[in-house]
Structure 1
Amino acid sequence: MRKMIIFSSPIFLGNLLQSSYQIVDSLWIGNLLGAAALGAVSISAAVIFTILSFIIGINSATLTVLSQRTGANDEEGLKKSLNAFVFVLGLLSMLLGIIGYIMAPYILQWMGTPQSILPVASAYLKINFIGITFLFGYNFIGTVLRAVGDSKTPLRFIMLAVILNAILDPLFIAGLNMGMEGAAYATVISQGSAFLFGIIYSSRKKGLPFTIPTVPPLEEFKRIFKLGLPSGLSMVAISGGVLAIMTVVTSFGETVVAGYGAAQRMDSLIMLPAITLGSAITSMAGQNIGAEKWDRVRNIAKSGIILILIVSVTISMMIFLGAEFLMKMFVEDSETVQFGAEYLRLVAFFYPFLGINFVLNGIVRASGAMFQVLVLNIISFWLLRFPLAWLFSAIFGERGIALGVGASFIVSSIIAAFYYIFGRWNKIDIFEREEKNGQTGEDST
């Protein structure tokens, strides 16, 4: 429990800083350039997140493979897998940047972006696509460091990016009179600096075997896509499920949409402990699975559930008591505040179940059961959360949205627990073919 808290704390702070990154960006743009510019940034940010979902999901396979390599003390295997991930993910991010730069205005038009803000939104999005390799790069290095047991160093990269962005935003936007393009360049420079610092620090100080990437063996390609493809599709399933729920929300009008939007900003912060612990547990369990210490894996699951229940219940009580105050931080309209506060109070009772889901899925993901996690996410969002939100809202009206979402948390956690107890996730061996090849080589010798 103590190690779990120490290891996950820097990850939590890093996630918190990542969230503040967008908030700080929005504050400068909104105050210096106005509401229209802020709207353009919001639309562009949604595009970047949606397109990156797949590649970020593939990146999560890095944590599983490298943590198991570390746990098994397989230095040569770590170097080989690291090279393969750098090659594949680097190539994907560059291709994504090129395609995104060319398609940016067409994507925005397809989304129905108002003509008045289309030019600035397009310029902002294009510049962000130029630097998308930096964004992905420093997050990838952070993932690698966590896989080998270092959760503190990635916090430095994120902190550097956040501080630089906070300084460069007003300088470029107003000082150099670059407007929206200045905000985009500030973001790219900040992320590029963090990426460069991350490569130098992790190579020289941490001794990570980063080299100039070469074309990896076929077996490494297969392993990455066998684990990464379902993980990437999980992210797509999640982001698509969130958009589907929005179609239920929009049916109740502007007040409910505004209240739900403000509540979701709080929701994203409330879920940070669960997301953080899930990531930390994947790394810790992965190392112990690699070392074949299954008793410790079970202890990690037990400690993780106890910890997330303590944290979630505490947060739920705070949200229930302070829902109205929290909503007034974002909006002033009384009806909007009323709906948002009621939504938060209702959902607050169900956060502990969501936490259990993250913990158990983190353990399962550490074994390499990416396809199973994909199935669990499809069930969670498409067979439970969206249908239940629609059904309960049809029965109970607008407050049924929260009840449906909360009910899905309960059922999802039960399904996750059932698979953790009875599933065969602990029989998966992601290096099985490699071992067979090694045995064949010994026999032939």
Structure 2
Amino acid sequence: MTAAPGLGGRRARVVDLTAGPLARGIVLFALLLLGAALIQLLYSTVDLMFVGHVLGTGAAAAVGASGLVVTCLVGIFTGLGTGTGVLIAGHFGAGRHNEVERVMHTALTFGLAGGLVLIPVMIALAPALMARLGTPPEIVPSAVVYLRIYLLGLVSVVLFNMGSGVLRALGDSLTPMRCQLVGGVVNVLVDALFIVVLRWGIGGAAVATLLSQTLAAGLVLLALRRLDERYRLRLSRFHLHPVTLREILAIGLPAGAQALVITLSNVAVQYRINALGIWDIAAFTVWFRVENFMYMPIMALGQAASTCVAQNLGAEDRPRTRRAVRACCLIGAVVTVVLAGALLVGVRPVLGLFTADPEVIARGTTIARIVAPCYVLFALMEVVSSSIRGAGRALPPMIIVVSALCGLRVVLLMALPRVFGTVGRVALLYPLSWVVTDTALLVYLLARRRLLWGDAPAAR
């Protein structure tokens, strides 16, 4: 490992994924990613804990109903961040520092401009979006308030995610975690102030998240300004370099489209959930928060796999690339089995952290018993698709995931609405779609194994 400037001017430990013990490097890099992701969960998790216990089940359902709209928007820019990270990791692994600097400034400029354009548009559309999702009329006003305030922080969310992606592509996953920790602590304190003390209601929860996310984004940008002189962030260098932007979009647009379509398929699921009633909405809202503690380790491994593949292909070390993908798959399987077992043992107390309603807990338990044992399938899907993207091929995993994962869910919900009329049956959609997607990804990988295993140059 080497040192790089971190938060507050200190030297952050950077994991070099092109040298040293491979499994140790992947685990350390993924653990730091996981730490940042778990801290990020504080934004939504603490909101829900305060809202569910202080404001009640209706307010918790309103947070859940509005959350998918935000996820759609963030998913687009997360995909662009994926394209940015793959390019930067490849250039960094090959020692092309001028290209690292060019990709970073182009990506941040595009993200900033896109966020500023979308904020007023989405604020104006918020009521119509909530109505189109089939949100129960009694919680629409609260959902709109939460969504509109949250949207004011969209630029902060975009800049934090893209800036953190740059640091991680360079091998520094510690600094984003530190920035998230500061923002997470502030979020808890401000939530208590706005909801419990000042009684601002659901708007107070959204304002707390807005302030904490803005702080975290500012800290990440500060860290980028303290990078190596050859590729540090400079305000004077903010620009859209056409060729670099096309390279980012070539990887980022398919990844962003994939994230968007996944979320839209979840919107279709949410539409079905909204038709079931407030208790079912609240149960899925609570479950999605709990599920994040399994989802985040898997996403961290996926990001580690993508970065490791891109760096090692940039360094032209294909045997190490092959070992990295296998190691990530094995680690993902072990982690998900352990976490799923622990969750199933204590599912009721865990759900009770977010709601005191026994009916919500009972329905949430039903969801957990169906979905949690199958999460190893999701881990395999994430590692394999991220590895393919890390090799510069973003379109194939997008087509597979959109068709097999999202298309299946939407088709089944539309074709068989009466069959999926209970919480348990809607939950079955998730493991069923994972099986189909995993099969398609593995078939593609075996058919194109030279992409990672062979001697042909990686696509860029």
Q: Please give the range of the TM-score, normalised by the shorter of the 2 chains.
A: 0.7 to 0.9
TM-score by length of 1: 0.84
Q: Deviations over 1:228-254 (max 9, x none)?
A: 221111011111122233455567667
Give distance in 1, aligned partners of 2:424 and 2:201: 41
TM-score by length of 2: 0.82
Selected match of 1:363 from 380, 387, 404: 387
- Note if 1:410 corresponds to 2:432: no
Residue aligning to 1:436 = none
- Secondary structure of the residue that 2:225 maps to in structure 1? helix
AA aligned opposite 2:329: I
Higher relative contact order (CA 8 A, sep 6+): 2
- Secondary structure of the residue that 1:215 maps to in structure 2? coil
Sort the Cα spacing of 1:98 and 1:274 in 2 relative to 1 into closer, same or farther, 3 A.
same
Selected match of 1:290 from 304, 314, 326: 314
Q: CA deviation at 1:307?
A: 0.9
Residue aligning to 2:259 = 235
Selected match of 1:269 from 272, 293, 304: 293
Q: Deviations over 1:396-432 (max 9, x none)?
A: 986554555323322322221222222264567554x
Give distance in 2, aligned partners of 1:291 and 1:338: 52
Sort the Cα spacing of 1:271 and 1:393 in 2 relative to 1 into closer, same or farther, 3 A.
farther
Q: Deviations over 1:5-56 (max 9, x none)?
A: 1110011121111122212123334455555554444444333222332222
- Note if 1:300 corresponds to 2:324: yes
Instruction: Identify the range of structure 1 (370-379 vs 38-47) with the bigger mean alpha-carbon deviation.
Output: 38-47
Residue aligning to 1:211 = 234
- Note if 1:222 corresponds to 2:213: no
Residue aligning to 1:374 = 398
Q: CA deviation at 1:323?
A: 4.2
Residue aligning to 1:443 = none
- Secondary structure of the residue that 1:271 maps to in structure 2? helix
**Over alpha carbons, which structure has the higher Rg?**
1
- Note if 1:156 corresponds to 2:181: no
How many residues are treated as equivalent by the alignment?
431
- Secondary structure of the residue that 2:392 maps to in structure 1? coil
Identity rate, percent: 24
Give distance in 1, aligned partners of 2:206 and 2:289: 22
AA aligned opposite 1:210: L
- Note if 1:52 corresponds to 2:92: no
Sort the Cα spacing of 1:247 and 1:346 in 2 relative to 1 into closer, same or farther, 3 A.
same
Give distance in 2, aligned partners of 1:38 and 1:260: 11
Sort the Cα spacing of 1:3 and 1:122 in 2 relative to 1 into closer, same or farther, 3 A.
same
Give distance in 1, aligned partners of 2:417 and 2:299: 26
List runs of 5+ in structure 1 lacking aligned partners: 432-445
- Secondary structure of the residue that 2:313 maps to in structure 1? helix
- Secondary structure of the residue that 1:204 maps to in structure 2? coil
Instruction: Identify the range of structure 1 (50-59 vs 326-335) with the bigger mean alpha-carbon deviation.
Output: 326-335
Q: CA deviation at 1:305?
A: 1.3
Sort the Cα spacing of 1:339 and 1:211 in 2 relative to 1 into closer, same or farther, 3 A.
same
Structure with greater helix share of residues: 1
AA aligned opposite 2:305: I
Residue aligning to 1:141 = 163
- Secondary structure of the residue that 1:350 maps to in structure 2? helix
Q: Deviations over 1:153-174 (max 9, x none)?
A: 1001111111112122333445
CA contact (8 A) 1:392 1:401 kept: no
Q: Deviations over 1:327-361 (max 9, x none)?
A: 55556676665554344333333222221111111
Instruction: Identify the range of structure 1 (15-24 vs 248-257) with the bigger mean alpha-carbon deviation.
Output: 248-257
Q: CA deviation at 1:146?
A: 0.4
CA contact (8 A) 2:195 2:201 kept: yes
Give distance in 2, aligned partners of 1:342 and 1:116: 26
Give distance in 1, aligned partners of 2:226 and 2:197: 36
Q: Deviations over 1:201-227 (max 9, x none)?
A: 232255552122443332122212222
Sort the Cα spacing of 1:214 and 1:250 in 2 relative to 1 into closer, same or farther, 3 A.
closer
- Note if 1:130 corresponds to 2:152: yes
- Note if 1:311 corresponds to 2:335: yes
Pairing of 1:160-175 with structure 2 (within 5 A)? 160-173=182-195, 175=197
List runs of 5+ in structure 2 lacking aligned partners: 1-22
CA contact (8 A) 1:69 1:78 kept: yes
Residue aligning to 2:9 = none
- Note if 1:84 corresponds to 2:98: no
Give distance in 1, aligned partners of 2:198 and 2:349: 38
Give distance in 1, aligned partners of 2:377 and 2:411: 18
Residue aligning to 1:440 = none
Sort the Cα spacing of 1:337 and 1:387 in 2 relative to 1 into closer, same or farther, 3 A.
farther
- Secondary structure of the residue that 2:340 maps to in structure 1? helix
Give distance in 1, aligned partners of 2:274 and 2:121: 31
Give distance in 2, aligned partners of 1:171 and 1:398: 35
Instruction: Identify the range of structure 1 (404-413 vs 177-186) with the bigger mean alpha-carbon deviation.
Output: 177-186
